[in-house]
Copies of this chain bind each other. A is one copy, B any other.
Amino acid sequence: MLNPNNRETPQIPSPLDADFEHDLDLYFLGPKSEQRQFLYEALQLVLNDHVFWRRNYWPKDPPAIGYSKVNGPDARHFREMFFTELFSLVSDLKLDVPVFSPRYMAHMISETTLPALVAYFATLLYNPNNVSSEASPVTIRYELEVGKQFARLFGFDDRTSFGHLTSGGTIANYESLWFHKAGRFLPVAIEMARRSHEGKRHPTGADALYELLNVPLQEGEVRLASYLGEGRDTESQWSKLESCLISHLGDTRFIREVEAQFETRWIEPVVIVPRTAHYCWRRSASLLGIGRDNFLKVAVDEQFRTSAQDLERVLESCRIEHRPVIQIVSVLGTTEFGSVDPIDELMDVRDRMVAHGIYAPVHVDGAYGGYFATIFQNGEASDPSPLEHDKQIRRAFRALSRVDSVTVDPHKAGYIPYGAGSIVIKHGYLKDLVAENAPYCLDRDNLTDGDDPRPQLGKLILEGSKPGAVAASVWFSHRLIPLDNNGYGRQLSTLCRIARRFDAMTSSWDGVVSLFRPHTNIVCLVATHPSITTYSGLNALNEHLAARFGVRDVLSIQSYDYLVSRTTVASDMPVLQTQPELAALEPDTDALSVMRLVFMNRWVELEEADGNMYLEDFLVKLRAAIEAWAE
């Protein structure tokens, strides 16, 4: 008999493999709760299923809470109190932001998919902890399967890479540094482990060290295997090596040992990030002790893409200074502008520099943009995506298979509830370098997992506990909405088309400037007025508008007609020179305030109450607000 625990998901054909192409509208509850009957039915099923699951475990065990207690006076009083408080809670929640509405265009958030919501609730009732198979025999498999799905999506080998979920993209980004740092310093550690039990004289000096600090990660794996095979047994070889690892010694002692062994001064390692990188990278600098000044910034172009040319300059300066690079960060869909880095060009630079003796792994922060890779999966979409037609962006996504790790957040473009982030690393062996063993619930014999039918996670990742409900939510949503251009790709194509349409619309509206043609689904707008001649004047207007269309302390969400967000663009950003209306102004401030619109809702092209398209109605309201301000 088939053990359902070993049920391999890929063996079951995806429901969307059928010719029938479902309307994606059906996958959401909808801004008017149009799918409420469907949701009721699904929730009732999972709730009853759980309730009677409990009742069927040792059915003859008597009830623990007697019938008279459940219906007694105490219960009635409890009920009264509970519902009084609950009423107050849900009344509070109604002051939350109406992210479900086409009128909300502010942040990278919308309603979740129905599969995600139902699976989350179903699993919440069971409440597994995805830290070990013992605590979550079912959902930990979902999580590892999702890791493999992402690996395949990005063109990694799903057997040798390692992917899993995190509580968010920030933790995933920390983990990329943690894994890559362990890997980057491994060849030096191997060398030191060898030296410690060999008498002969070894090469010293800055060049010898720098060579070891620039061994590519794939070559590091080969060296590790070769080193482990050299000694009496793997275990003693490993234990000798372990005592030389930077994770074991700590940074300070590792550096001192290296300086002593190689008779050269340690040059501080750096991390290379684009100038527009998310602020979590700054924070990782303090968490990992790398230092904010050791995060080298690469310039971006007039569309906020990391400049390959400037990356080459930065790498070259590192090479000259003999500075090791822990990793290069490239961004797939910047948080603020949705821009897509030219990953192909950046990889060309990285690969070219290896020949000159400097190597660095490339981590793609695709927290936001990772899901857009689905647009390029599985042949023809019935409605070709605007991104498919954009050569630069297509090349960038196709180059993902060349990078070393990717962060992607299901709770952003995956329409999954918070907190669902994830990371995939291409070189799965790195997890063994940081692995921990917990005596009470992790399998201590199993370092590598591999085909172990009882997978473990807790000892290989940063987090120590994690909701299985998130894993089920992501897995089930992917099951019904595949990671290809008929599933998520179809939804995200629609959003990209909407953003481009809106960008085009603004060109015929006086007083509104779109900063550039969007790469994905974010449009940045600046409102202008003939009376304004300086950046500070422009900021006064745009900050007024950001407040007018921003989240406020309200007594009812009816106060909002449209919601957008705001961001700032540094005054020396190339984009500001590309628009004649802006280039003509006096740049008397450090930064320009801009309105930021994120299109996550597929229905913004429909008509609102008065018969205007939401997109257009917003522009009408925006112009009215500009005119009111000017008077």
Contacts and interface: CB of A to CB of B under 8 A. Distances in A.
Most B CB atoms within 10 A — which of A4, A278, A419? A419
In the complex this chain forms, how many copies of it are found? Answer: 2
Interface string A114-148: 11011111111111110001111111000000000
B252 A26 contact: no
Nearest to A248: B292
Interface stretch (A218-226, A383-391, A472-480): A472-480
Interface string A54-90: 1101101111111101100011011101111111011
A301 to B, nearest CB: 19
Interface stretch (A205-213, A528-536, A561-569): A561-569
A321 B553 CA distance: 55
B35 A55 contact: no
B279 A438 contact: yes
The 4 closest A-B pairs by CB, nearest first: A250-B291, A170-B464, A247-B286, A60-B609
Given A167-B463, A463-B171, A466-B419, A118 B247 contact: no
Contacts of A49: 90, 94
Given A51-B33, A60-B609, A86-B45, A168 B466 contact: yes
A266 interface: yes
A553 B5 CA distance: 7
Interface string A164-200: 0001111100100010001000000000000000000
Interface stretch (A97-105, A152-160, A395-403, A493-501): A97-105
A115 B82 contact: yes
Interface string A31-45: 111111111101101
A441 B135 contact: no
A323 B284 CA distance: 26
Interface in A550-572: 550-551, 553-555, 557-558, 561, 565-568
B107 A30 contact: no
A278 to B, nearest CB: 8
A324 to B, nearest CB: 12
A169 B467 CA distance: 13
5 contacts: A4-B555, A20-B77, A92-B138, A93-B472, A282-B436
A47 B37 CA distance: 11
A322 interface: no
A163 interface: no
